[in-house]
Structures are given as C-alpha cells and as structure tokens.
Structure 1
Amino acid sequence: MRDSVAVQQSDAAKSTAEDIIRAFSQSVANGDRSDQPYAHWVLRGCLPEDTHQDVLNLPFPAPSLEGVSGKRELHNKTRKYFDAENKEAFPVVAAVAEAFQDKRITDLIAKTFETNLDGTYLRIEYAQDTDGFWLEPHSDLGVKSFTLLLYLSDDESHENLGTDIYDGDKKHVGRSPFAPNAAMIFVPADDTFHGFERRPIKGVRKSLIINYVTDEWRAREQLAFPEAPINA
C-alpha cells in the first residue's frame, strides 16, 4: 500500500531543505507579534510555494471522526506524522523535516521566540480536520517546548477556520487568521490556551502541527529524528 501511493509523488522535492530554511527564516523576519492574551506570532509565506503545494497534496486519507472530537489523541490510530516511514516515501516530507531539524532554524526559533530547544525532538503532525471537528481549550504546556500551527488549505471557505485563542480563564478572545502557508506560533506556558470552536468545515481543513518535544515524549515513532535530539 505504501509503495502504491509513493509513486504518485515526484522523484524529488521541488524545493530543497535549503530553500525551506530560507523561506521560513524570511517569514520569521516579517512576522507579526501580539501579546494579547499571551505572546503569539502570525507568519506568512512559511514554505516555498511548491513545497506548500506538495505538502498540501500528500495522499494521506482524511480520518473519520466517528462522531467523537474534542481532543486530538482520541484518534491516535489514524494520525499521520513526518516520521521515518513517510520521510522515506515522500521527498517533500524529508525536505521539511530536514529543514526544521537544521541548527540554523532551531537557533532562529530559540532566539526569536525565547525558548530552549536543547535536547528536544522534532515532531510534525499532518492534521486533517473534517466537519464535526472541535478542540477544547488547552495550553500545550508540559512536554512541548514550541508550537507552530502551519495552515495548508487553500479553500476560500476556510478563511474563518483559524485557531481559537482564549485568555487565562479560557474565555474566547480571538482567532488567528487562516490563510494558506500562514502560521500561528507560541511557546507553551500555563496561559497559552487555544483550541477550535465547532463550526462548519467544508472539505478538509489541513495543517501541519510542528512541535519540539522533550525527551519525556513517549511515542518515539511519531518523531522525525527519534535518535537525534536538537543540539542548541
């Protein structure tokens, strides 16, 4: 099954890890910061456009919610990652993973967003949300040292499908802009509540959830480089 879908991809990623590093670095330089209700950033043009399109078009089937939502871990068996298997099958997966593992990017993230990535591991989830999906407010505090929510969908009906933002009392106060190849970034803390209020989703809401997680992360098979911690 894996071989049959792999041949649908080109023999090589159109943009290299170097191209992705340059594009992401530029998006960070041009990013917008807000401190309400907690420090978070909005970036645009995070990936080269051909990389964005290749990631958007990865042939992963959207999982069924089976009438249950509220937490992503409810559907662990069907979640997809930029893991060892998918890096081997899809050149664009390997290129994105290599870029976010690169010391130039990890140093940039650590300096710009004031977080310590030393000893953490790269985890990239390919999220596909369908109608009926919702996510309760949560902070990501714990084993995650950095969160980047990179939006992929280019459906115009998805413009209102950004991440919902809450204050320390879990009161809804705003929503990040949802645009293709844009992202919301924050460093998990005890007040970084975010989620997704249930609302209609036409088609599939696609995004990358990029985290650097501590050594306490148990599901090692989800990691892009499980034997290679970040050396900050």
Structure 2
Amino acid sequence: MTEHVAVDNLIIWEFDFAMTTFYEVDTDLINPLLPKQISPMEIVPGVSLLNITAFNFPEGGLGHLPKFQELIASIVVTPDLSRGVPKFAMYVFSLGSTCQEHLDHSANYYKLPSYKKLEYGKINRADNAIEFGDTDGSILTMNNCGSNIGDFLGHERYFQAFALQDDNLFIADLYLKAALFEHQDQGDAGIINNHPFLKGLELFDEERVPYLQMLLEPGTRGKQFYYKPEKYG
C-alpha cells in the first residue's frame, strides 16, 4: 500500500457515499470525445466503457467546503504503464457538482472540465440509488443492479485520471482507500438521459449494458488521494 502524505501536490478527499457504473458503449460513439493522444480501452472489438461516478462529500470532507454531491463522466482509456498498473485509466470529460466553489477548485487545480453547478444530487443510501439533475432536467438515475451485495473489500485501488484543458492534456495519479463491493451482474442500472452534461454523447440507441458496478459500504467513509496533475505527452 502506498503511503500518502498531505503535501502541496496532494489533496485528500473524504467521502461517505460512492457509487460507480461502467457501461458498455459503442467505440464509434465515444471516439469523438477523446484527445488524439489517448485511445479507448475496448473490452471487445468495437465496445468501450463509459463510466459514471457519484460521490457525496460530507461537510469538512474537502477542507472548509460544505456538504456537496459530485457527478463525473469519463471514458476508460489505455493506461500509462510507466506510472504503474491502474485498476482503470479514465479520461474525464464532464464534471458536475452541487457546490460552485468545488467546481472552480476542480478546474483550477485538477484541470477538470467543469460542466456547471447542478441543482440536485439525490442519494438514497438504503437502496443504493441516485438521481442528478439541473435546470435542463434529469441527467440520470443510477441504481445497484446486483442481485446480492457481498464482501466489501477495503484494499487500496490505483487509478489514472486524464483531463484536457486549453488543448493541453494532463494526467494525475489517484488512489481510493475505501470498503467497496464490486459486481458484474447485469440488469436495470438506471436511465442515462441525453443531456448537455454528456457533452454531445448521445445514447438514444444504446442499451446501456452495465459492465461493472462499485459501491461504498454503507455507514463507512472512504478517502481519495488525488495528486496534482502533470502535462502529458
């Protein structure tokens, strides 16, 4: 396990709800969203993964900020193995939050593509279900489609996060230390609406098959160790 010490290039986030779903999507649909320096990681030829992740950060979970909810849309891409072997490498193409200060911080420090302040992030902890939306309507609903919730594994997971700002591509290392349950059951994982949050990605004809889901153990908190991004390529 990596030792993380809070220094100038590392910010530690603490969250009390996390849910993520990886959806199977035709590669042709997501290719236009990717910078030329990176390519999608296909699970089978012609099929890539769209990731939607939701967090709830309690008051004090990120410095002085109040309680807020965050929604992230990303595409699973080929990792940079010179930095280590991540669970996933992801290109973040949209970030929404119910806190404007958080959005500003994410754009300035993490170079993330802030969408805009969201009107709501509704979280049903008992059912592991969420809904996020803004003045343009509901962005999505997401729910656990697993038939059984099994072991929550608390080991550390390493990820790589790519982001584009002002035509410059950045990469950051991030680590999640949290008790998470993972499953690959298929079923009704909710509805993704064709909304401006998705930056032109239209899924009208997509079945939105869930490939993988990850859930934080109820009643626990996790930590995200997010290092300052560096220019890539």
- TM-score exceeds 0.5: no
Greater length-normalized contact order (CA 8 Å, ≥ 6 residues apart):
1
TM-score, normalised via structure 1 length: 0.30
Kindly indicate which of the two structures has a greater share of residues assigned to helix: 1
TM-score (norm 2): 0.29
More strand by share: 2
